Structure 1
Amino acid sequence: MSRTIKIPISKDAQVYSAISSANTNFGTSAYPTMNVGKDYASNIYRAFIATEHIGKIIPKGATITSAILRLYQNSTAVGSEDIRVYRVTSDWQETGITWNNQPGYDSSAPFPSTSNVLGTPVGSVSIDITSLVSAWFNGIYPNYGLVIKSYQEAVADRVHSFGTRESTTPTWVPYIEVTYQEAANSEVPYIESVFQQYAQNSTSLTFNTGSITAGDLMLVALAVSVAGLNVTPPSGWTSIGRTDFGGSYGVHYFWKIAGASEPTSHQFTRGSGTNTWVGQFIRIKRTNSNTPIKLTDITTATALQINTPVLSGVPAKALILDSVVIANGIPGFRNDGVNPTDMTFFTEATDGSSLDMGLYTQYDLDGGSNGARTYYINGSTNKPLAARVFAIDVPNKPPTLSLTSPADNQTLSEGNTLPVQGTAGDTDNGNVVTVKYKINNGPVRAIASGVSDGSTPISFAKSLTFNNKRLWDGSTDVAGADLAEGVDHILTVWTEDDQGGKSVEETRKFRVVWNRPPVISGTNENLGTIMAPPSKTYTVIEPEGNPFTITEKINGTVIRTFPGVAGQEETVTIPHNLWIRLDLDTPHSLTVEATDSNGLTSTRTYTFIRTETHIEFMLDFDNPDVEAHFTLDGMPKRVLVTLERYLPPGSSIEFVRVCNNALDAEPTWEDMTAAVVAGRGYLFTNQVKTAENWRINIWVCIAKGTATERVRLDGFGGAFD
């Protein structure tokens, strides 16, 4: 963007070679003009001028395309003369410079480099000093100002007179008109325009501004010649406050960010009265739309001067505004010859008699602490004064994002993680930066936040885990919905700051593969009616390669549990102690379950009905009580066995056998079936043993035969001697 601004002169003075004046200073407010050339007595005049505003008004990085020194020849000269400008090579003081102590200058490079004959008429004079101002701005030369002089200083009676910055006639005041091209990344605020009004005997003050661009900062300053009177702004304006000063005056400030359809006039009203008020409507572009006025403070005095408040924590490149009001003193501050050298006079609003409001600006390119500055009034009588300082914040620069992971187009299986990592940045020191993300159009969630120092990246990292068709941050379901297979899902990451800035969104595509349970070979099977424990072989594979556990069960009772090995053949069967406890003629389920590390389970089921044609048992000598009871020192001679039984028609006791030498390698079994059926005891016929002790054992077998009802053996009893 190209901008043209007027840069005021911060000091100027003539020097004069006449013997009586060679040590005289002409740099005070008593000298509203300065002369250049040789007078009729061959004494020489030179004019020195300087500005300290170039580095404070033009943003860093700009390119100066034009710089014109604007002078005003305020009286008719006797004759034409070649007037040139030269770069001064050392510093000088406005109120101390004389002919005898004047600084040196670069005589080899006049501006312009060719003849610049100045005529005799009164009027404006322009001299192109673009290359010199550019050299000052870029630090090639120190800025000590320039000297205006006759090129050869040879012809007498060729004096040309120009206005100084102390001139009471505004058109005489010299300045440098600079046009510059802002750098591509320049974001400094600037004053687009100022509308000024004053009114007497009116309860309203209206600024007819025309159309205003949305986002512009509108700042209004109002001074009223009465204290304690409130001013009502139009709708949507924010009051900065009223400050009374001098006992009889009040100053009011309001601001608003322009909307999309801002009115073309803005009326401020007050209560009834015949007092005077003046106002300035300041339109500022490129500000921080959230907090345009970063800092502000006001001070008052009744004196010959006023010191502005000090602002601390001013952001770099902020636009500094001084709004200075003087009561009962016209003219105000800009013509007194001692304005603060680091401020640029912008404009002045006055009613011509009772109130004067000056607006002064500068850029605080480095930030930090700003002020204080002293403003003096013209004259020697104390006046009521008020000075409010504003730091207008630079536009908020959006934060930046560097997303280093995840890679694009990942595929997530059960238990896989999606790492979200990178850095966020914000060149605005003090901004709170938050990294946010979302999955598809799901809820927006924060990853990390931090306060920017203007340069150090803020690192962030978060791992999202895919589980049970969803992405999880710990126990939080970040997507809020199942993620479908076979389609692209979008991770969107961005940063936001607390000033409304947002980075460019970065996206990553990913797909998901739903977790599948382990696969058990074979199919579910009905084994029919069986009389012996079944035995089935199987293998298990896990589609995602996750660890898995195998559990074998009979009717829900665990037979065994063990870590599975993919593809390894296993065999499931029913141990005897569980088999004999299974009800007869009743459906049973033998199952194999394979459960992966994510909790998904597959089951293979074998159903069957257990049946038996016989009930057959012996004594269990693994039971210590049974072993002790039936192991004897002496030879048993007789035994009685009773069976608590229900034998439906068609069933029978197939045999009952007993022995008294059960510890022998080959016991002698004797049939006592008839005795049991008859309910009688039985006399052992065997009287020998090979083992150390005698032991009785009983072997019972009951045949179901053709019975259709269930055969029951509820227990047995008996005795021996």
Structure 2
Amino acid sequence: METQTFLSAGTTFVSSTLAPYNLSTSAVIAVGTHPVYQDSISFLRFDLSSISAANASSAVLRLFVFEKEGAAPSPVVINRVTSDYDINTVTYNTRPAYVNTEITSEVSSDEVIKYIEIPVTTLVNQWLNGDFPNYGFALTNPDGTTSVLFGGKPVGASYEPQLVITYSSETPGKLTGIQAQLQRSPGTIIADGANVIFDSTLTDQSESISYNPATGEFTISKPDNYYISWWVTTDGSAGPVNMVFGLVADGTTIAVGNSPDVTGQVDGDGFLTVSNDPVTLTLVNQTGADVLYANIPVQANISIITVVSDSSV
């Protein structure tokens, strides 16, 4: 997990007594019914474009309290702004619309000259997920009698609004791969030591995995970690009791599927790490004798899957 503190990209407040004026250069932002500014609403914006995470585990809005008017605690309501606006030109007369997020913090006189912290995780995740555009916060106070002055952007980093977000810095993975089957060889024989020749490619979502249907060879060209699973249905062999099929990478067996039943399904799986050079992968009959494929619609299946970061797909 990673925690990052974002300073405000811009702050302002709008005042009913200064309705035509933009107040973005003010060192403080007012919320509530102030003796001078009267009805006051604060607007704050944060640039979260540097976060690639889709979800935050926590998000806290920190506001420095410079002054509080009124003996009773002042309710500060967190609202989500619903339309775009320019922090440097907006006024009381042109203020954007906003909706209540049901997040409220009570500010008391004991919190003057301190930072208060307000959890806003749900709203921040709605921005990160793209549920709503990030037009920032609007801070309101509905009591009609009290007010608070918070530090604004111009006051400097020690007192301006902060948004502290904790999130996972890992990039989500994405599954890609290839799936192939043998469908047109019911009741035929695969020789001992021969490759399974898959004749139908069902899914091919990876540019780094190619398949040669003439040889049964998969070539993996991109360094990464791969998971391979397979099965083969059989209907007897020319000798041994155990059916054995091996996954072979560049001539070396890396995983084996073994079944004591000569009639039925042999399956297996394995992991392969490709470092630098391309790797050739095959599924080979290692029974020690010729094997008869079962007389059913699908005789064999293989899936090769890699988990890669979004940036490398």
Distance 1:499 1:22 in 2: 66
Identical counterparts, % of pairs: 19
Q: Does 1:176 align with 2:163?
A: yes
Distance 1:492 1:87 in 2: 57
Distance 1:160 1:56 in 2: 31
Gap change, CA 1:84 and 1:502, over 3 Å in 2 = farther
Q: Does 1:25 align with 2:22?
A: yes
Q: Is the 8 A contact 1:7 1:177 kept in 2?
A: yes
Shift of residue 511, structure 1, vs aligned partner: 3.5
CA offsets per residue over residues 82-109 of structure 1, 9 Å max, x none? 22222223221111101111112225x4
Gap change, CA 1:72 and 1:400, over 3 Å in 2 = same
CA offsets per residue over residues 42-69 of structure 1, 9 Å max, x none? 623221012342x651423x3x443221
Q: Does 1:10 align with 2:9?
A: yes
Gap change, CA 1:501 and 1:43, over 3 Å in 2 = farther
Q: Flag the structure with higher strand content.
A: 2
CA offsets per residue over residues 664-721 of structure 1, 9 Å max, x none? xxxxxxxxxxxxxxxxxxxxxxxxxxxxxxxxxxxxxxxxxxxxxxxxxxxxxxxxxx
Distance 1:40 1:417 in 2: 86
Alignment of 1:150-189 (within 5 A): 150-152=141-143, 154-155=144-145, 158-168=146-156, 170-180=157-167, 186-187=172-173
Q: Does 1:69 align with 2:61?
A: yes
Counterpart of 1:400 (choices 149, 156, 177) is 177
Q: Is the 8 A contact 2:6 2:163 kept in 1?
A: yes
Report the secondary structure of 2:40's partner residue: strand
Counterpart of 1:90 (choices 70, 83, 90) is 83
Q: Is the 8 A contact 1:412 1:511 kept in 2?
A: no
**AA matched with 2:81:** V
**AA matched with 1:45:** S
Alignment of 1:151-300 (within 5 A): 151-152=142-143, 154-155=144-145, 158-168=146-156, 170-180=157-167, 186-187=172-173
Distance 1:450 1:502 in 2: 7
CA offsets per residue over residues 148-207 of structure 1, 9 Å max, x none? 12232x22xx44222223333x22132222334689x715xxxxxxxxxxxxxxxxxxxx
Q: Is the 8 A contact 1:433 1:496 kept in 2?
A: no
Report the secondary structure of 1:135's partner residue: helix
Q: Is the 8 A contact 1:413 1:512 kept in 2?
A: no
Q: Does 1:135 align with 2:126?
A: yes
CA offsets per residue over residues 474-502 of structure 1, 9 Å max, x none? xxxxxxxxxxx858463436988787898
Gap change, CA 1:509 and 1:182, over 3 Å in 2 = farther
Distance 2:96 2:285 in 1: 70
Q: Does 1:116 align with 2:106?
A: yes
Gap change, CA 1:68 and 1:26, over 3 Å in 2 = same
Q: Is the 8 A contact 2:53 2:128 kept in 1?
A: no
Report the secondary structure of 2:158's partner residue: helix
Q: Which has the higher relative contact order, 1 or 2, with Cα contacts under 8 A spaced 6 or more apart?
A: 2
**AA matched with 2:117:** S
Q: Is the 8 A contact 1:399 1:495 kept in 2?
A: no
Gap change, CA 1:14 and 1:509, over 3 Å in 2 = same
Shift of residue 401, structure 1, vs aligned partner: 4.1
**AA matched with 1:490:** G
* Structure 2 alignment gaps of length 5 or more: 223-238, 250-270, 291-313
Larger Rg belongs to: 1
Alignment of 1:436-451 (within 5 A): 447-448=218-219
Counterpart of 1:59 (choices 39, 53, 76) is 53
Gap change, CA 1:78 and 1:25, over 3 Å in 2 = same
* Structure 1 alignment gaps of length 5 or more: 188-396, 437-444, 452-484, 515-721
Distance 1:513 1:101 in 2: 84
Gap change, CA 1:513 and 1:502, over 3 Å in 2 = closer
Counterpart of 1:106 (choices 61, 74, 99) is 99
Distance 1:402 1:125 in 2: 55
Distance 1:67 1:25 in 2: 29
Distance 1:135 1:509 in 2: 53
CA offsets per residue over residues 510-545 of structure 1, 9 Å max, x none? 44558xxxxxxxxxxxxxxxxxxxxxxxxxxxxxxx
Gap change, CA 1:140 and 1:95, over 3 Å in 2 = same
Distance 2:103 2:14 in 1: 20
Q: Is the 8 A contact 2:78 2:138 kept in 1?
A: yes
**AA matched with 1:36:** V
Gap change, CA 1:398 and 1:140, over 3 Å in 2 = closer
Alignment of 1:620-699 (within 5 A): none
Q: How many residues align?
A: 244
Distance 1:182 1:502 in 2: 31
**AA matched with 1:492:** V
Report the secondary structure of 1:419's partner residue: coil
Name the TM-score, length of structure 1 as normaliser: 0.29
Q: Is the 8 A contact 1:90 1:104 kept in 2?
A: yes
